[in-house]
Amino acid sequence: MNGKKILIVEDEFIIADVLAGILKTAGYRAGGIAGSVHEALEMIANDKPDFVLLDIYLKGKLTGINLAHMLGEMNIPFIYISANSNQKVLEDAKVTNPYGFVIKPFREKDVLIALDIAIYRHENRLESGERQNALIQKKTAEILTGADSWEQKMLQMAKTLQPYLTFELFTAGLRQDEDGDFYEICFSRIGFDEYQVIGAAGLMVITNRKLHELKKLKTATQVDQIATWYDENEFIRMQNASPLKKLFAETYGLRSHLAWPVKLGDGQVCDLNFYSRRPDAYHADHLTHCNRLQQTIADFIQGMMRLAGSPLLSKINDFVVNHEVSPPDQANPFSGIVGSSHLLLTVFDQVMQVARASSSVLILGESGTGKEKIAERIHALSTRNDKPFVRINCAALPTSLIDSELFGHEKGSFTGAIDKKIGRFEQAHTGTIFLDEIGELPLESQSKLLRVLQEKEIERIGGRNTIKTDVRIIAATNRNLEKEVAEGRFRLDLFYRINVFPIVMPALRDRKEDIPDLAKHFLKIYSRKTGKAVHGITPQVLESMMRYHWPGNIRELENLIERNVLLTRDDMITNMALPTQLEQPEVTQPTATGAVTMQDGERAHILAALKKCNGKIWGEGGAASLLNLPPTTLNSKMKKLGIRKDYGV
């Protein structure tokens, strides 16, 4: 005897009664009789049945087809028992994925056989679901431990899901608040097993939106709390409250959607979004996959977040990155750092001079000139190269967390100190700490840092003992630290401590001869990453690149090449939209530290933009948009540089 509990949803009492009798005789348990969708939902909420026999026309406004959709979402199997054989109704019933359809009037045998087959099929499906889950679990574990790049690992996960949750566009990103950085990785299917990987820079090009605009769209986009599917009409409707999804739909011609929020613990959620060009690609069955794979995919994403270089890192970890610094290549200790200009070769010479000593190094240079890369090489070429290299981005370190992050804390030393925490100085013991953007460190933290540098020991918050540390310090900044000291924003004694061996990274505009090699280098990287075979850049484009001022230096060049690789339809870059050439600011030659010109350069650059925009900062045609900066950032830069808001008006 079967013993399964069956709910009958039927508004004709006599038929319902007959059905109940048939089921009882056959050994099924009674799950009740409901005459309307409303009643059925109440009964299900009280006592979930194993199976439902469902009539189509019921009491009340809602039909059995409406209920069928809900049953699908609740993962409750059902078969229809109906006298209705109208073509339209049958079509509607079909999309709800029933396990069977029995036409009234029925014979006892018809009902029992249909039910028997349905239960067998359902159980079989559950069993094969378990098998699928085990398979995907194994596959995702292999992906995690493989040697591929971070993006390729995400792509492999997406490809693993493709047979179950089909898509033409797949996006993944951590749910973000307004303070969070925009990050969304997207995969667009362009062939049977061909995908285009699209990062933030690519999205900016494809959608013609700035990063802060994308972020605004993302924060305004409605999120689902559980996995939800949208057919064409529902997808169109939901786009009113989901501007980022609307943008994707318009850009890629997408017509149906499945949103799958994967809960990661700690309150974090990673939103996986599947989109299709078919109007009805998703249905309730897909939700069953999502439910079943929830844990497997959450484990995978958490694993991915822990990998070095993960752009999905949570905000709290944003300021600390522990690097695996690649060991030096004996033949070329600077492999991976492209360029042979005399200015760059001077930097290499300086690195060779200082690397094996344990002295502190201060790397100066504009943003994007390669300061971090040089810091990594100093560590890799030092005697500490088999010890940790810990990077701290001082600009992103929240003041309230500085002490605990740098020096650690004992369990219970303050509210929220649930466990003991080892600080970054302790983690870097015998290795190197890279204090990036040290010029941004608040004065109060500067004195604490100075103490560690002087005493070479730290004390955990709430700790009783001092701990000896042996850490080499490399610091970097794009600020003019002498000016910062003169204006009281940086401690003179700390400046002396870190300014033992200054290295100045040249701006790209001062070593233009390196541009062709750098362009080739990034072209190779991004054509491999995006799977597009782009082999070169025309001489005309290279010429315009040589004329450009490169305020964002190598990072800007890298981003531009990435965008253009994505944009080009040829195997050559024949046209490159360089940002609007601003009036070239008067750049004074670098001083001994090279630092004075950096701020002056930035100032002149902003002034030129303001002049061009007649003093307008916000909105279209404003200086912020011209400089590709969020207006708030431009405003604070202007404040810092003492530029009046009415300049250029």
- Which residues form the interface with ligand ATP (CB under 6 A)? 337-339, 365, 367-373, 436, 478, 518, 521, 554-555, 558
- Could you count the other beta carbons within 10 Å of the beta carbon of residue 304? 21
Q: How far is the CB of 512 from ligand ATP (least distance, A)?
A: 13
Using alpha carbons, select from 481, 429, 430, 500 the residue that is nearest to residue 598. 481
Cβ distance 325 to 376 under 8 Å? Answer: yes
Cβ distance 406 to 449 under 8 Å? Answer: yes
Q: Quote the tokens at residue 98.
A: 């029933």
- The whole-angstrom separation of Cα 563 and Cα 547 is 19
Q: How far is the CB of 641 from ligand ATP (least distance, A)?
A: 17
Q: Which is nearer to ligand ATP, 173 or 552 (CB)?
A: 552
Q: Which is nearer to ligand ATP, 421 or 555 (CB)?
A: 555
Strand-pair category, 408-409 with 432-436? unpaired
Q: Quote the tokens at residue 28.
A: 């099924």
> In the 8-state DSSP scheme, what is residue 441?
S
Q: Which is nearer to ligand ATP, 338 or 641 (CB)?
A: 338
Q: Quote the tokens at residue 447.
A: 């004195």
- The whole-angstrom separation of Cα 378 and Cα 333 is 10
Please name the helix (run of DSSP H) or strand (run of DSSP E) that holds residue 130, with its range, or none: helix 108-145
| Angle at alpha carbon of residue 327, lines to 325 and 333, rounded to 5° | 110
- The whole-angstrom separation of Cα 174 and Cα 302 is 11
Q: Which long-range contacts (CB under 8 A, 24 or more apart) does 615-620 make?
A: 615/645, 615/646, 615/647, 615/648, 615/649, 617/645
Q: How far is the CB of 602 from ligand ATP (least distance, A)?
A: 12
Q: How far is the CB of 353 from ligand ATP (least distance, A)?
A: 19
Q: How far is the CB of 347 from ligand ATP (least distance, A)?
A: 9
Q: How far is the CB of 365 from ligand ATP (least distance, A)?
A: 6
Q: How far is the CB of 554 from ligand ATP (least distance, A)?
A: 4
Q: Which is nearer to ligand ATP, 277 or 373 (CB)?
A: 373
DSSP 442-453: -HHHHHHHHHHH
| Residue type present at position 303 | G
Q: Which is nearer to ligand ATP, 269 or 375 (CB)?
A: 375
Q: How far is the CB of 174 from ligand ATP (least distance, A)?
A: 22
Q: How far is CA 237 from CA 231, 240, 255, 256, in A?
A: 10, 6, 11, 11
Q: Which is nearer to ligand ATP, 417 or 587 (CB)?
A: 587
Strand-pair category, 572-573 with 421-422? unpaired
Q: How far is CA 469 from CA 96, 358, 458, 512, in A?
A: 65, 14, 7, 42
Q: Which is nearer to ligand ATP, 54 or 566 (CB)?
A: 566
Q: How far is the CB of 320 from ligand ATP (least distance, A)?
A: 14
- The whole-angstrom separation of Cα 562 and Cα 564 is 6
Q: Which is nearer to ligand ATP, 338 or 567 (CB)?
A: 338
Q: How far is CA 120 from CA 100, 110, 124, in A?
A: 12, 16, 6
Q: How far is the CB of 514 from ligand ATP (least distance, A)?
A: 7
Q: Which is nearer to ligand ATP, 296 or 369 (CB)?
A: 369
Q: Which is nearer to ligand ATP, 300 or 548 (CB)?
A: 548
Alpha helices of 480-552 — where are they, by DSSP H?
481-486, 492-498, 515-530, 539-547
Q: How far is CA 231 from CA 238, 286, 287, 527, in A?
A: 10, 13, 13, 35
What residue is closest to ligand ATP based on CB? Answer: 370
| Residue type present at position 412 | G
Q: What SS3 class is residue 536?
A: strand
Bridge partners (DSSP) listed for residue 103? 82
| Angle at alpha carbon of residue 372, lines to 367 and 378, rounded to 5° | 140
Q: How far is the CB of 551 from ligand ATP (least distance, A)?
A: 12
Q: Which is nearer to ligand ATP, 49 or 370 (CB)?
A: 370
Q: How far is the CB of 433 from ligand ATP (least distance, A)?
A: 15
DSSP 564-580: HHHH-SSSEE----PPP
- The whole-angstrom separation of Cα 3 and Cα 556 is 68
Q: How far is the CB of 209 from ligand ATP (least distance, A)?
A: 22
Cβ distance 300 to 262 under 8 Å? Answer: no
Q: Quote the tokens at residue 136.
A: 């995907």
- Could you count the other beta carbons within 10 Å of the beta carbon of residue 288? 19
- The whole-angstrom separation of Cα 82 and Cα 106 is 9
Q: Which is nearer to ligand ATP, 554 or 604 (CB)?
A: 554
CA-based radius of gyration for the chain: 31
Q: How far is the CB of 161 from ligand ATP (least distance, A)?
A: 30
Q: Which is nearer to ligand ATP, 338 or 596 (CB)?
A: 338
Q: How far is the CB of 555 from ligand ATP (least distance, A)?
A: 4
Q: Which is nearer to ligand ATP, 613 or 634 (CB)?
A: 634
Q: Which is nearer to ligand ATP, 157 or 204 (CB)?
A: 204
Q: Which is nearer to ligand ATP, 44 or 205 (CB)?
A: 205
Q: How far is the CB of 581 from ligand ATP (least distance, A)?
A: 22
Alpha helices of 181-242 — where are they, by DSSP H?
200-207, 211-220, 232-238
